[in-house]
Amino acid sequence: MYAAYSLCRANLRKKKVHNALIGLLILLSTVLLVTSVTVILNTTNLFTNMHTKTHGSHEMLILDGEVHDPKLVYEWWKEQEGVATSSLIPFRTLSGISRPGHEPTAGLLNLYLYMMDTTARPYEVDELLFAQGVESLVPEPGTVWLPSSIAYLYDISPGDTLEFSTGDSRLSIEVAAVVVDMPFGAPFPTSARIWMNHQDYVAHFQDIPGNDQYMMGLRFEDYSRSSTYWERWQQEMGTPYLGSKTSFQEMSSFYLIMNKMIGFIMVSLGVMMMFVALFTIGFTISDDILSNYKTIGVIKALGLTSRKLIGVYMMQYIMIAAVSVVPGFIASRFLSGVIVDSALSSLKTKTAGVTPGGGWPALTTALLLLALILLCVFYYANKARHVQPMQAIRYGMSETQHSMKTRRLTRAKGSGSPGMLGRAPLLAVIGFRNLLKNRKAAVLMLLLSMMMSAVLVLGFVLLYSISHIKETSPLWGYDSTDVVVQITNKSVFSRSAFDQQAASDPRIENTNWVGAVNGVVTADRPAGVEATYTEPMNFSIIVIDGSYDEIGYRNLSGRNPQNKDEISIGMNVAKQLNKEIGDIVEVYIEGHRHLLTVSGIYQSIANMSYSARILADTVRVNRPDYEDLDSGFINLRNDADLEQVVQDLSSGYGNSASVTTQQTLLYAVYKQAVASLILPMSIMGLLFTGVTVIIVYSLSRINIRKESKTYGIYKTLGLTSGKIRFSILLGVLVLSMIGAVIGALAGVYILPMILGSILSDYGIAKLPLILNWWGIIAFALVTALAAGLGSWASSRIVARTSPQILVVE
């Protein structure tokens, strides 16, 4: 046993640099894998725990009193066993927030606001958790509670003053506290609940035209049985629920999407890195056995058993793995905390953060990685059993390998043709022979270059596509117009006057007006199938007075509606209802039944493709005076006029409408996505770059040691150290460039296809990407440069060593 321990210690001491590099590779693999598992599991767990802690609603109902009596709805649900309800909370809607003394912020100016008439806490459903400020039962007069999703994103704190446009006046009010509001607290907020004092609510809204709307949340003891309650509702009321309803899936989707996407990428790349680590360890052990074949034969001849020889390698890598896995596990805790915090920051409160716990899954992942390393070591170290002492001492290899080598040399001498390498430049021949003689190392370098290039290119393509979302906005389910006008004060704004001004402005090509109504679609029962209850779908329907084609809305198949009998539906609506182009759907719009033909199917991430598009004429069949269109979409003839048009319209309608560019609105929504992606993708890119340099350095160093006598002969024949090093570098660069090209194609086409499978649940069938090939080529070149750096650094041993010593070795 002491002999095995002495050999293990000698191996550790003799190859300090190489063993350190292997340990670093194991550490990085541990960091990436454990981090990915922690991110995926904790994203869901943290959201679920916070939802449970606040008694979060599973469904949110918004009632305007025109379709259903809010009090009747509230009383009906209060009587249902197994369902907890929030109070019936009155609210009015406004558009946009401004901050006195600050530059206007597009994201704040275009928020859709629910101004809540706050009832006294605590709430049975959707309790508010205070993140900043003084906790109280209701907001004090002259103050509001602001949701954390808005406050954190736009750096608003208690004590700041906000302004809202209400009719002919502006409401200036102070932020008293920042609260976690689960149904409206997800990242990428486009709407928010502003919690007001009751006296302030009455004073500011009693004279404004319109009636109160109401909001109530439902929390089921068993959410899977929610359809049973809605079936009972339809039986007792004689009609489906026709109001607005937001499901738990819709409320939770944007809490989870970013970290699920990041976690999926990290798991995929972590597994890739783990296999690189295992392959590297296997290659190192195999090479060590071949390089020391004669020494192993002598040791076995002296009486050391094969089992003890295997134990030498097992002991060596147990030490390296233990030293690497433990700090990797600890580092992953901090890294996963940073990633989860960046995506779920809106859940942070003054008493609790969102730091994820490692738990047994993270520990199991680390132990599994350790077990795989030991199995890999055992498998490759087992080759030492086949070393025969007499053959090893006589040939320095097995007799079979010696015979094969002799036959190759005989064939080479008998061949009169120099072959392709014989006609190539000398330095190229040296570099390529270095790769051909070490094929396993060359294959590992090729695979590593492919993976690094794929990681870097994927990260670049994702970040570039999201940061330039204006170019692909129709493929995400948005418009592609130039200017967006959001009406903030309908009592003052005159649409007819605006249209006249737009028609007379030579810079404006067209203007379309868009609004939204609530829709309910009932599922068909196939003929011959027993009649069972299928819960209707409640979703938002976009209404346009104009042309969808002009504002850039696209479809995956079919076309946008062009007459009042047509409808275009989101892909998840089509999937759930099993509808295709040309099918008829029964739709209730504001309580009125319509039979509409499906003209198109589209994708949209904004509402997970649970939405539809119709013309304003469809609504006017039952409401001839329908004009509730609060967003204008303007296309310009010349993009150079964009800023001037926005400035002119803002100055003319500043008190009644918010005017901004569509690109600014998209950036306001997706800047959080870019911020969430930058950190993990940068970390993964740096890790793979570091791993590439490490492994190429290690492999090149092994190859140079094996060919040291050959390089000594080259130096005695007149080749300088620089030329020898350049020849080694040239071979590695060509090999890594081949891998970089293959990896870049995988990062552009294959990995996004896999990633798209996650987004399909969020309403995106085809991931919209922008391929900037100059950037893709640049990141592919980074792969080659990293491999070249590792190769050049490892070849310094050639320059430092004299030809005589190299030949003697």
Give yes or no for residue 406 having a pLDDT over 60: no
* Mean pLDDT to the nearest integer, 697-708: 75
What letter represents residue 746's amino acid?
Answer: A
Q: How far apart are CA 120 and CA 153, in angstroms?
A: 27
pLDDT surpassing 90 at residue 435 = no
Of residues 24 and 9, more confidently modeled: 24
State the pLDDT confidence band at 176, using cuts at 50, 70 and 90.
very high
Q: CA 623, 625, 630, 636 torsion: positive or negative?
A: positive
Q: What pLDDT is stored for residue 167 in this prediction?
A: 61
**The pLDDT value given to residue 10:** 65
Going by C-alpha positions, the residue among 285, 320, 291 that lies closest to residue 704 is 291
**Rounded to whole angstroms, how far apart are CA atoms 477 and 553?**
7
358 pLDDT tier (thresholds 50, 70, 90): low
Highest mean pLDDT among 265-274, 656-665, 703-712: 656-665
Q: Encode pLDDT of 40-83 as tens digits.
A: 777 777 788 888 888 999 999 988 767 788 899 999 999 999 99
Burial of 237 per CB tally in 10 Å (0-12, 13-18, 19+):
middle
What is the number of other CB atoms lying within 10 angstroms of the CB of residue 364? 12
pLDDT in tens, 226-253: 888 888 888 888 888 888 888 888 888 7
Q: Is the pLDDT score of 13 beyond 70? A: no
Pick the most confident of 83-92, 185-194, 690-699. Answer: 83-92
Taking the CB of residue 199, how many other CB atoms lie within 10 A of it? 12
Query: Could you tell me the residue ranges of all domains in the chain?
Result: 1-55+252-413, 84-218, 427-471+670-809, 472-669
Dihedral sign computed on CA atoms, order 118, 119, 122, 124: negative
378: number of Cβ within 10 Å: 15
Q: Model pTM? A: 0.75
Residues 6+ apart with CB under 8 A from 205: 92, 115, 166, 212
CA distance 783 to 454: 10
Q: What is the pLDDT of residue 185?
A: 83
pLDDT band for position 402 (cuts 50, 70, 90):
very low
More confident residue, 101 or 2: 101
Distance of alpha carbon 575 from alpha carbon 577, whole angstroms: 6
Q: Model confidence over 613-667: pLDDT tens digits?
A: 999 999 998 888 888 888 889 999 888 888 888 888 877 776 677 788 888 777 7
Average pLDDT of the chain to the nearest whole number: 80
Mean pLDDT, range 262-280, rounded to an integer: 75
pLDDT at 146 exceeding the cut of 90: yes
Indicate if the pLDDT at residue 597 is higher than 90: yes
Average pLDDT over residues 205-223: 86
Residue type, 616: A
The predicted-structure confidence for 529-555, as pLDDT tens digits, reads as follows 444 556 678 888 999 998 999 998 999
SS3 state at 506: coil
pLDDT at 64: 77
pLDDT for residue 333: 79
Whether the per-residue pLDDT at 712 is higher than 50: the answer is yes
Integer Cα distance of 546 and 631 in angstroms: 12
